[in-house]
Structure 1
């Protein structure tokens, strides 16, 4: 299937601009560019939810910033989703993914706790994972302050945030703390030296390039094979995937990360995990943020939030 026409127009503009190496760039410049890019594809008006409040939760290295979204209505109890933003472990923040968190909150009727973890290069691996795990554990241990239903707690994330969500779900499994679901959008699941066909098929021209991916991997792992093989960096490389939370996994046809996301879905299926997986034709990396400008992305996000909602709709137990 050809590229979604709305995204083709966007990519034409993006690809016409000069582009340097992530490895050579100032992180502050990258982050400002990410904020501008996301502002271009965000809805013109914020998605309405019941309330939004910034807060912090305790972390291993100090307070972790979070933003708590609550659905509208007089609901006494609701599911809770802990959300980790994407951005290659370097860019992305609570603002770049505000519309995504609002969409999950509205569509799933869930309290969403968006987490702003420590980022590269200032804070090396495994700082981001430690913050995400600490935040998720805090929410689980104080669920009455959020949705109120411990058996309806999920994690979610996109790209690097999808990898972090997958790793947190594995850690919860190891802790014997069940999760209701994990939503992983085009997750970066394997930072080892493995090669996938989608790396070369989608190496250039679709926002995330293969060179971007190489640079980000090098910065994350510091070119250390032991780090790359760690499940906190590469959830696909976990010793076992048995017993992890039911998964909703999305990949994009025009994304270099496509095949490692599909490989993660296969690994979970092979371990007996309930998995919904969809490789979306016509879409590119980052489409979760693009539902306001792409009908194909809108349809995909509606399906994904619907699948997440279904996995959060089991019997309620306070």
Structure 2
């Protein structure tokens, strides 16, 4: 174990002192507002510039559900489209909270980013968010062509991991996955879940609160598209798209990300596993307070670029 990055420790201490943490609140509405206000505060006054941004609406022809997406166009396109799924425990988050991450991915990779405003629990528990993600992915493949990547952070990375299974079996074909500290084990039984139960930033109690709303039916806890450990046990992680999996040392979700990366690698999937020493859950959005967090986020993006060639 290394020491927690001091800049992150100081930044999280300020968030706690100012009342922004814990992430979870009494009701989903209160949690959403707090999370959105915090995301807008962290974005600052100036957005990272990209060549263009526009919103679109995608309709799932099988359910007639509309899914709103926000498309970010790079200044120097490289023929890659990243379908981005925001974090927030499947309960909080939206296009605004995902804006900074989407812009960063767009600029760093020279990739078009399709950010998905998927439906949220508890109003829309599993499988609604995953269905929305697949709808957006199919639309992006048809609309833009080229190389196709699914990516996300936290709960969004969990959706991306499940989406990779759906894409393998039902299309469209993927060229890569970018999974930043994914939430993929609803059993919450890994050693890191106990060791890092108190966080900082994300806690075990936060995850229990999120899963209780996202997976209210206990039978869904073994769905391979949600529980990627179950997918590995069933031998269902072969032939997935090449993946970058980035975890953080002081994250309750660390070990489940490592286990998924190792299971994919054992099944013959090209995998880059990045272990963020001294970092916490959510580091991709904490670069403004920690140079170490900024470097690790860039390292994950660079690893994806290498996988894509």
Check conservation: 1:153, 1:312, Cα contact below 8 A.
no
- Contact (CA 8 Å) 2:199, 2:250: kept in 1 or not? no
| Aligned Cα root-mean-square deviation (Å) | 1.8
Residue 5 of structure 1: how far off its partner (Å): 1.5
Q: Does 1:182 align with 2:174?
A: no
Cα shift at 1:40: 3.3
**For the residues of structure 1 that align with 2:217 and 2:3, how far apart are their CA atoms?**
36
Given that 1:86 and 1:160 are in contact with CA atoms closer than 8 Å, whether structure 2 keeps it comes out as: yes
2:102 maps to 101
Aligned partner of 1:257 in structure 2 is: 253
- The question of whether the paired residues in 2 share the 8 Å contact of 1:15 and 1:205 is answered with no
Does the aligned pair in 2 maintain the 1:11–1:205 contact within 8 Å?
no
Note the alpha carbon deviations across 1:122-150, whole angstroms, 9 max, x for none. 1121110100011101111222xxxx41x
The CA distance in 2 between the partners of 1:18 and 1:44, in whole Å, is 19
User: What's 1:285 paired with?
Assistant: 281
Q: Distance in 2 between matches of 1:242 and 1:72?
A: 35
* Aligned-pair CA distance for 1:43: 4.8
Structure 1 match to 2:299: 303
- How does the TM-score come out when normalised to structure 2? 0.92
> Which consecutive residues of structure 2, in runs of 5 or more, have no partner in the other structure?
none
Q: In the alignment, is the contact (CA less than 8 A) between 2:154 and 2:182 conserved in 1?
A: yes
The answer (yes or no) to whether the contact 2:11–2:289 under 8 Å persists in 1 is no
Which runs of 5 or more residues in structure 1 are unaligned?
314-318
> Which residue matches 1:248?
244
Q: Does 1:207 align with 2:201?
A: yes
Q: Is the 8 A contact 2:199 2:251 kept in 1?
A: no
SS in 2 for 1:283: coil
Corresponding residue number in structure 1 for 2:118: 117
Q: What TM-score does the superposition give when structure 1 sets the normalisation length?
A: 0.90
Contact 2:87 / 2:155 at 8 angstroms: preserved in 1? Answer: yes
Contact in 2 for aligned 1:41/1:293 (Cα 8 Å): no
Q: Work out whether residues 244 and 300 of structure 2, in 8 Å CA contact, stay in contact via their aligned partners in 1.
A: yes
2:213 alignment partner in structure 1: 219
1:299 and 1:19 map into 2 onto residues whose CA distance is 24
* SS in structure 1 of the partner of residue 268 of structure 2: coil
CA displacement 1:208-256 (0-9 Å, x = unmatched): 11111112122222151x2011022223322310000000000011110
Name which of structure 1's ranges 249-258 and 197-206 shifts more when overlaid on structure 2.
Answer: 197-206
- Of 229-238 and 114-123, deviating more is 229-238
Aligned to 1:188, the other structure's residue is in SS state coil
**8 Å Cα contact 1:126/1:232 also seen in 2:** no
Q: What is the rounded CA distance, in whole Å, between the counterparts of 1:184 and 1:277 in structure 2?
A: 10
1:35-74 to structure 2, matched below 5 A, reads 35-59=36-60, 60-73=63-76
Distance in 1, Cα, partners of 2:161 & 2:31: 25
Alpha-carbon displacement from aligned partner over 1:100-132 (angstroms, at most 9, x marks no partner): 100110111110000010001111211101000
- Greater relative contact order: 1 or 2 (C-alpha under 8 angstroms, separation 6 or more)? 1
Distance between the aligned counterparts of 1:221 and 1:62, measured in 2?
A: 21
- Give the SS at the match of 1:254: coil
**What is the number of equivalent residue pairs in this alignment?**
302
